[in-house]
């Protein structure tokens, strides 16, 4: 899988190492484990999916940008799902990781998965409305949104630190595209990266 991701343009060695270190088969349904390392999304139930490995890798690489890992000290993930993306962020060695999941069954399942790979102690998992972020912990050096809203959630913009970066898919009603939002002293810089396909981001529990 790591070799395939390299051929697909994932170049940051830290991201490739993190992907290689996390056993993806432990995060998918047992009946689907034979397909865990295929480059495809897989159903988790409750209308949710685990993203394909390339999507996880490219979003992680975009979150880091060209900066050293130390520039993304405090990271917020919106949409914990099964916990796989959370585990990849932890495998990078980032010191502060927070992740919000709206659905209680998935929140509990993610905790079980992260315990199984001995990574739960490194992240704070919260069951709540990801659209609102975690203002009590902000600002964040990085925000990763793994579901697609129609517009960039204002609370998340407000919780991004100067020098911070948000990576998220946006759904314009016709198609979804992956965007990078950088916060500078002068304001926000938005960059459209590529087409994407994510479940919708729901505002509210």
Domains and CATH numbers, the chain: 2-196 (3.40.50.150)
Q: Lowest mean pLDDT: which of 17-21, 75-79, 121-125, 130-134?
A: 121-125
32 pLDDT more than 90: no
φ, ψ dihedrals at 65, nearest 5°: 60, -140
- A 10 A CB-CB count for 174 gives 5
Per-residue confidence (pLDDT) for residue 36, from 0 to 100: 86
For residue 25, what is the enclosing H or E element? Answer: none
φ, ψ dihedrals at 97, nearest 5°: -125, 130
Identify which of 57, 128, 135, 63 has the alpha carbon closest to the alpha carbon of residue 99.
128
Per-residue confidence (pLDDT) for residue 67, from 0 to 100: 87
205 pLDDT more than 60: no
Q: 117-176 pLDDT, tens per residue?
A: 887 667 899 999 999 999 999 999 999 999 999 999 999 999 999 999 999 999 998 999
DSSP-derived 3-state class of residue 192: strand
pLDDT band at residue 190 using 50, 70 and 90 as cut-offs: very high
46 pLDDT more than 60: yes
If one compares 71 and 85, the residue with the highest pLDDT of the two is: 85
Mean of per-residue pLDDT scores for the chain: 92
Per-residue confidence (pLDDT) for residue 204, from 0 to 100: 65
The mean per-residue pLDDT over the stretch 176-180 comes to 97
For every residue of 148-175, DSSP letters joined together read B-SS--HHHHHTEEEEEEEEEEEE-SS-
Do residues 104 and 127 make contact, with C-beta atoms less than 8 angstroms apart? yes
List residues with catalytic annotation: 51
Do residues 148 and 196 make contact, with C-beta atoms less than 8 angstroms apart? yes
């Amino acid at each position: 899988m790591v070799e395939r991701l390299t051929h697909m343009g994932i170049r940051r060695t830290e991201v490739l190492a993190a992907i290689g270190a996390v056993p993806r088969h432990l995060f998918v349904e047992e009946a689907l484990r034979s397909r865990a390392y295929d480059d495809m999304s897989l159903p988790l139930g409750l209308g949710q999916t685990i993203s394909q490995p390339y999507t996880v890798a490219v979003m992680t690489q975009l979150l880091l940008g060209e900066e050293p890992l130390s520039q993304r000290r405090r990271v917020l993930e919106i949409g914990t799902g099964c916990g796989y993306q959370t585990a990849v962020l932890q495998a990078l060695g980032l010191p502060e990781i927070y992740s919000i999941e709206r659905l209680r069954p998935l929140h509990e399942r993610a905790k079980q998965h992260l315990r199984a790979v001995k990574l739960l102690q490194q992240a704070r998992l919260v069951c709540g409305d990801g659209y609102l972020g975690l203002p009590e912990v902000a600002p964040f050096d990085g925000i990763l949104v793994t579901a697609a809203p129609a517009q960039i959630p204002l609370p998340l913009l407000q919780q991004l630190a100067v020098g911070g970066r948000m990576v998220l898919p946006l759904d314009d009603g016709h198609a979804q595209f992956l965007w990078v939002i950088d916060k500078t002293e002068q304001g926000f810089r938005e960059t459209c990266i590529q087409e994407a396909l994510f479940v919708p981001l729901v505002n509210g529990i």
